[in-house]
Structure formats: structure tokens, C-alpha cells
Structure 1
Amino acid sequence: MPRQRRSGRVGPLERAPGGQDDAVTDTPAASSAEDEVVSLCSELISIDTSNYGDGSGPGERVAAERVAELLAEVGLEPQVFESDKGRASVVARVEGSDPSRTDALLVHGHLDVVPARPEDWTVHPFAGEVRDGCVWGRGAVDMKDMDAMVLATVRARLREGRRPARPLVLAFLADEEAGGAKGAHFLADNHRDLFEGCTEAISEVGGFSTTVRDRRFYLLETAEKGLAWMRLKATGTAGHGSMVHPDNAVTELCAAVARLGEHQWPVRMTDTVRTFLEAVSEETGIELDPQDPSALLQELGAIARIVGATLRNTTNPSVLRAGYKANVVPQEATAEVDGRFLPGYEDEFFATVDELLGPKISREMITHDIAVETPHGGPLWERMEAALLAEDPGARVVPYALSGGTDSKSFTPLGITGYGFAPLRLPAGLDFSGMFHGIDERVPVDALQFGVRVLDRFFDSL
């Protein structure tokens, strides 16, 4: 689908409860960014960057080139890097206004999206349509919204000559939806110099609001689970389906997969999750039971799905393959499992997996990446918190853990401390967590405009 800018009349969305919508920015850059962010988000969505995980998609090259054009228009010198044909990332550096500051902030987002079937959607997933006060399409929340907010904010500030005190490294990356091997990992492994001086980073799946008892909580991501996508294999004796087969590979594999999928992983309360639930407890008056926090989860609405998954390790079988004909017992059967482990519990995770699988099942890693946890607090946290509360004074900012993973895993080994900070003020009834990889993904227009105001304040404070 060709690139195009889209425009449309947009109406106001219902505000979340609390009457906290009177904070406005007085900076020209934020106003300019608010004007541009919707069209940028729409345009990026209209560039299909579906990542099927097997190299068959369109890649990110077209999107990367467009991002590079947008950055070059305001005087930056972006570089486009291809790890494979069509698998492209773009990186640019914004020099700070204070020459003594060498501690750069990495601001990264990914350009790829998971696939979408148009027939399942209310609108075409790659149209970038503005409807009912939202920008619709694949990537609207994961994560072309943040890409657009960063682009709009940086472009407006540079047009006005307003640079932050510390340098920024802007990275728009390929392949996050398949683990980042062709994007963030590729750059971190092969072009480490791009991130020279970077000590901290911000990226996706944090800074958005959820409503708890009529009060908005903004969730800053300070932790995320580790990734263990595994391929399991059982072998047996091939033969005629009419005979007895005590070493049937399919039977052996299915029993092991069932044990893994039905396992009740114990609650493991990490520091980040405990801090988050303690804040919910204070707000609601419901006591936190560390062994069974289900009463607090019920206060969280749709976001409880993410929070609940950060209370324990998880293993979800997702793919089964065996055989080719009903009357032929196959020699081999395979399965794939999405495993996620909490920070500090990787060894326990794999020991339990191997015990459940037993000696007759082999496993190999499809994708394996670290869990991360960053203590909340400190100067950068305080700046993020201040920027949010300046726009939404009655809200509360809390740390939380992400059940999935982001490209932050690639930059942690470089000594870069990462946070999820893609600020969005959301209506109380919006199932935001269900938008990730879901049908009819969309982001409110006024949430995008709120985000650029927050980012502008945040960059001012650096």
C-alpha cells in the first residue's frame, strides 16, 4: 500500500473520570507536534510492515526510509541499516544543548507489526483511518503510536531550535515482533558505536493510564519477563496405524505438552509487582495477600491480564505438528511452547520445564532472551513522573512489570537502563491491553496529543 497522509475530522473522546483534564502546555513545540502526530501515526500504519517471523513479510525498509526522510527534514543525519534484504532500522543522533553532557538518552521504537487479516477488522488494518476519535490500524498501539509521538515531538522541537540538554539517540527498529534478531540485537551486536554514551532508554508499553477506583494510574514499565520460545520433540517407532504402538511419538508428546500447559506455576512476587500492588492496595483499601492477590487484580479491569501474568512463570503450548496420513504412525512429533520467566526465576523455570517434560522429550530454544528489572526512582524516573503529573495533576505514577518483552532486552547488556514510557491518557473503559496484537487495534487521537505534550515536557527536563 502506498504511503499517504490521511486527514479527517475527529471529535472528542469521553474523558476518564476524575476531572483532571485542565492541564495544558504552553510550549509552541508541543502545539506543533499535536498538529502533526495524528497524520504521522496514520501514515506509518499505512505502510505494511507485517512480521510473520519467517522472513516472508514486506520488511521495514519502506517505513525506515520514510522515517529517515522525516528526520532529515529537520536537520538530522539518519542512517539506515539493513540486517537482511528489506529488514531495515534507522538511527539518528540529536546533539544536546549542553556540551558537557555526554550521557545520551536512547529513545527507541520498532517499525514492524504482527500480521492482520483485513476480513476480521471493522476497518482495513493498513488504512490508518481516523474514525470515532481514534486512529485505527495494525500498529496503532504496538507501536507506531509511540514512533509518531517521538517523530512529531522531535521534529517540532528541532524546527524551533529547542534541543534537550543531553543528547538523544533515536532508533526505529526492525524485527521486534520476532525477538529482534534482525533489528535491535543486530545493531547492538554489530554497531555498538551507535549507542556510545547511552546510559538510559525509553520505549514502549509504559506511561499509559489505567483507572483504579476513579483515579488514573500511569504505569511506567520497569521490568519485563524473560523469553523462552521452545521446540519440543518426541521420537518413536513408525508403523501401520492398525497395530499396537507403545512408543507412539504423538502420544508421548501430547502427554508432555498437556503436563506443561496445565502446570500451576506458583506465585512469585518480584519487587516491581509488589510495589505496584501495594499502590493499588492503598488506593482501594484492599489488603495485599502476597500468596493470593486475586482480590486486587479484580480492581484492575482489563489490565489484570498483564499484571496477573507477572505473578508467575508461564508456559503456553501454541503449535503441534506430527504425521501425514491417518493410518501411518509417525516417527516424530514436535510442538512449540511460549515460555516466559520472571526476573530472578530463570533457573527455576527451566528446571521445572525439564521435570515436566521428562526424559523422552527433547527441547531446543527457538528464541531465548533475558528478563530485566530496574529499580524505580532516581532522576530519570522523577522527570517522567513530573511530566505526566504536569499534564494530569491528580493522577498517580507507579512501576509495573510487563508480561511480554521489548527491545530493551537487547540494550541491557550494553549497560543501558530501560523504561517503558510511551505516555497515553486513556478513557477508563478502553481495553488497551486487548489492543496489543488484537483485532480493531486503535489509539485515541487525544491520547496521542497528550503523549506529545508529555514528551515535550520530559525532553525539556533532561
Structure 2
Amino acid sequence: MRILIVMCLLAPLLALAQPDVSIRTSHEALARQMLADVIAMDTSVIRKETPKMAAYLARHLREAGFGGDSILTIDLGEDGTSLVVRYSGKNPQLQSIGFMAHMDVVPAFRKDWELDPFVLTEEGDYFIGRGTADNKAGVVSLVVTFMKLKKAGYVPERDLVLVLTSDEETGMVSIKHIANNMADELNMEYAVNADALSGVLAPDGSVFGYYVQGAEKGYRSYRLTVTNPGGHSSAPRPDNAIYQLAHALIKIQNFRFPTMINEISEGMLRSVASRSDPATAGAINQLLENPRSLAAADKVVSNPLISTTIRTTCVATMLEAGHAENALPQSASAVVNCRIMPAMSPGDVEHLLKTVINDDEIQIQTMAEDNIGPASPMREDVMSAIAEALAEYPGVELIPFMASYGTDGKEFRIVGIPVYGSSGMFMDPREAFAHGLNEKIPVEAFYKSLKYWERLMKILARNP
């Protein structure tokens, strides 16, 4: 009886602690349920449940009215299952508009997290779970928007194409397959990628700006290796493999790749200048006038966000040397990871590394290779459409953005399809924890993004 009385007294408080979904629209409630369902699927390389997720999404799309010929399931074996959905428009002569997201996530382990990473938890103002920020909220937002428009009988002026990939976090085999084998069939004028950190809130909650990603750096790793006869540590030789490699790494550390400013990095720099102190703003403006100004570049690179957008970077990330503590090393090797500007080729980077090291005894071997895509032109029609779709944030500054990391968008850019990263969500980037522990997004940001995607699709569909 005492327990019953306590429970009765606590019942109102417990009710308050639970998320109240009754005040949500049916569309929002469905989106929340679908987000919970897909978060529960471990689509990382551990359990590889993208086939399950693709089947789940395809079923919902069919129930919304998309015919079997509109939904293409692409089974790539170990690389997962992807989904391509065509929303047919009135005028098949017009090129389609693409919308992208990826279903896979990086691994997460219950022992590391405060909460179960594969259970969507609404705690305070946040949705918590693996993939909330990267990128299942984006997947769900796009799918439920397609469903809502289809159920309402909406017919776009042109085709809309949804591309959901299965291995963006690993080999990107799925997007490469789609880009290389289906680009002509999809006939996309351009695509919008939901896999983006777009709306940025300042620590005080005010709106900082909205990044529109139009480019990303390429990725390539090199292994530097030095070999040596070695010997006993009691008789040191002047040509020690570890020291020789260390000298090369220090040269790389001190080397500055040439400054390269494109349309996107220029937009980022101008935005930063407008918010900076006079000294920083002056350095940025000087750099824009003369990209070869080392003095201006030195002042600018103190900001890591800016420095990564104006030049290629190479940094040592792994070391391996020696075979015994009492023996001189017979070999020493290091991995150097480079993030390459769109206008620079991997061949240029390797040539510069060899020139900087200036040591023929050091072998340079390409390890991880990745394609490098061009920058997308920052089209006025796309930018104005995004601004119009962000109705909850009137007057927000749209900032061109070049990512120093990789996304699926690069593979479409390589085959000539411009891609623009835009999520419709606003948050403090310090709180996302994408790829980390307790990944989360603001609850209201998720619901507002649903309105954003509906507006954006309608705007882009009517603009030939």
C-alpha cells in the first residue's frame, strides 16, 4: 500500500519527465517514431544493418504512394544496401534535383556511453543516440518529407531524386557506384546533401550563421620509410633511421603549402573578417588582395577553422620504428595524412613533399587514396532558395563553406554534379559529438528541419 501511495504521488512528476509528443503534429510524431526506429538499427560496420534500414524506409515510402518502379534498392554486399527514390514531376524534360543522406554510422559501444547509443533518448532539449547528428536525422527528414508531399498529392515541376547511401563512414563504395553508373539516368542538375553541419548557434544561443558546403578537401595518406643496416646500440652510427625520419617530419611540420583561395574560401574569409577585430580583419583583407602574402597568412592561420580553408595541410599521424631497445633501428616509418585543396592534385602534393624532405633515401609510398572533387559554384538560385526555406531564421547570413573532411557529395562533384551541404538544423557545434560519445541534436532543431525540407523541395522543384 505504501508503495502504491508513493507511486500515485509520483505519477504526475513522472508524466512531466516524459517527452510530450501529443502537442506535435502527426507528421512530426511520425518523424520522431521513424527516427527512433532507425536509431535502433546498428548500421555501423559492426552489425551492418543498412539492408534492414533500407527495407524499413522503402516500406514506408511504398505505403505513402511511391510505386515499386520509383524505389531502387542497391545491394552492394559487404558495403551495405543503398536506396534511390524518384519522385516524378510534371516535366520530364527538366533535369532532376537530388537530395542526399547516408544511413550508416560509426561504431558505438554501450560500455562507453552514458545511455544506450541505439535507443533514441529524449532528455531535456536533446535527442541522444548514435546517428542523430550524423546522419540519420537527415535521412528521416528527407524520407518523411517525400512521404508527406506524396500523400498530399503534390506533383513537383521536375523530378526529385532521393539518394541514401550505405557506407559513407567507410569506403564510400555505394556513392561511387551510384555516381559512376547512374549519373546519366538520374540526370541531376545538382544535389543538396543533408550530411552537413549548417546552422551555427553561438554559445549564448544566438544565431551565428548558416554554412552552405560547396566543396571539400581531398584525402590522401603517405608512408615515409627509412631503412638502415642498424647495429648494436652500444656503437651508435651517424646515420640513424629514426633521426633521419625525424628530420624529414620536422621539415614537413615547418613547410607551408601555397595559399589557394577559391570562391568558397573567399566567402568564408569575408564572413570571418566582418566579425573579427580590426587586426584580424585587416590580415584577411590583405590575404584576399594578395594570397602570396606570408605575413597576412601567418596572422590568419592562427584560427584553425580559417587555416584549413586556404591551403593544403599535411600532418604526421603515426610512427613505427626499431626492433629492440638495445639495437640501432633498421627501419623507421611514419604516416603523413594530407587534406588537399580542390585545385591541387595529389601528384603536386607528393612532388612538394619530396622537394621539402630533399632526401632520396626516404621512400614515399601512397597509402590511402581518395578522389579529389572540384568546388561547386555557389549558385545564386540555390542560395536564395535555402535562404527562403529558412523562414524561422529571417536574414540569417549564408556562408560558403569548404569542409576539411569528406562526404558523399565529393563523388557527385567528380562526375559533374554540383552538391550543396545543407541540413536545415541549427545548433552549437560544440554539442553535436558526431562520431563521439553521447551524440545528440536539439529536439526543436529536428522538428524545424522538417519544415525547412518541405519548403526547400517545393522551391527548388518550381525553379527550372
Give the TM-score normalised by the residue count of structure 1: 0.80
Residues 81-115 of structure 1 deviation map (CA, whole Å, 9 limit, x = unaligned): 2323352212121111x224531111111122222
Change beyond 3 A, Cα 1:46–1:324: farther
One-letter code of the match for 1:152?
V
Change beyond 3 A, Cα 1:356–1:295: closer
From 21, 25, 28, the equivalent of 1:34 is: 28
Identity across matched positions, percent: 25
Is the 8 Å Cα contact of residues 222 and 400 (structure 1) preserved in structure 2?
A: yes
Deviates more, 1:140-149 or 1:203-212: 203-212
Change beyond 3 A, Cα 1:161–1:447: same
| Aligned-residue offset at 1:447 | 0.5
Show structure 2 runs of 5+ residues with no match: 1-16, 288-295
Residues 55-106 of structure 1 deviation map (CA, whole Å, 9 limit, x = unaligned): x66363332232222322223332222323352212121111x224531111
Deviates more, 1:230-239 or 1:368-377: 230-239
Is the 8 Å Cα contact of residues 259 and 356 (structure 1) preserved in structure 2?
A: yes
Q: The residue matched to 1:452 in structure 2 has which SS?
A: helix
Change beyond 3 A, Cα 1:337–1:144: farther
Whole-angstrom CA distance in 2 between matches of 1:451 and 1:293? 37
Is the 8 Å Cα contact of residues 389 and 456 (structure 2) preserved in structure 1?
A: yes
Name the counterpart of 2:228.
236
For the pair 1:62 / 2:52, whether they are aligned, the reply is: yes
Change beyond 3 A, Cα 1:87–1:241: farther
> Equivalent residues in 2 for 1:190-205 (5 A)?
190-192=181-183, 195-203=185-193, 204-205=195-196
Q: The residue matched to 2:225 in structure 1 has which SS?
A: strand
> Equivalent residues in 2 for 1:74-223 (5 A)?
74-76=64-66, 77=68, 78-85=71-78, 87-96=80-89, 98-180=90-172, 182-192=173-183, 195-203=185-193, 204-211=195-202, 214-223=206-215
Q: Which has the higher helix share?
A: 2
Show structure 1 runs of 5+ residues with no match: 1-7, 13-29, 299-303
| Aligned-residue offset at 1:449 | 0.9
| Aligned-residue offset at 1:425 | 2.3
State the Cα RMSD in Å.
3.2
Change beyond 3 A, Cα 1:263–1:31: farther
Q: The residue matched to 1:68 in structure 2 has which SS?
A: helix
Name the counterpart of 1:435.
433
Is the 8 Å Cα contact of residues 307 and 402 (structure 1) preserved in structure 2?
A: no
Change beyond 3 A, Cα 1:234–1:295: closer
| Aligned-residue offset at 1:227 | 1.7
Q: The residue matched to 1:234 in structure 2 has which SS?
A: strand
> Equivalent residues in 2 for 1:190-339 (5 A)?
190-192=181-183, 195-203=185-193, 204-211=195-202, 214-237=206-229, 244=236, 248-265=240-257, 267-282=259-274, 286=278, 287-290=281-284, 291=287, 292=296, 305-322=304-321, 325-327=324-326, 331-339=330-338
Is the 8 Å Cα contact of residues 101 and 165 (structure 1) preserved in structure 2?
A: no
One-letter code of the match for 1:34?
E
Q: Computing the radius of gyration over CA atoms, which structure comes out larger, 1 or 2?
A: 2
Change beyond 3 A, Cα 1:71–1:331: farther
For the pair 1:387 / 2:389, whether they are aligned, the reply is: yes
Q: The residue matched to 1:449 in structure 2 has which SS?
A: helix
Name the counterpart of 1:71.
61
Q: The residue matched to 1:186 in structure 2 has which SS?
A: helix
Whole-angstrom CA distance in 1 between matches of 2:104 and 2:72? 18
Residues 231-290 of structure 1 deviation map (CA, whole Å, 9 limit, x = unaligned): 333333365555545555444444434433454445443321222232343456743423
Is the 8 Å Cα contact of residues 33 and 155 (structure 1) preserved in structure 2?
A: no
For the pair 1:366 / 2:368, whether they are aligned, the reply is: yes
Is the 8 Å Cα contact of residues 240 and 328 (structure 2) preserved in structure 1?
A: yes
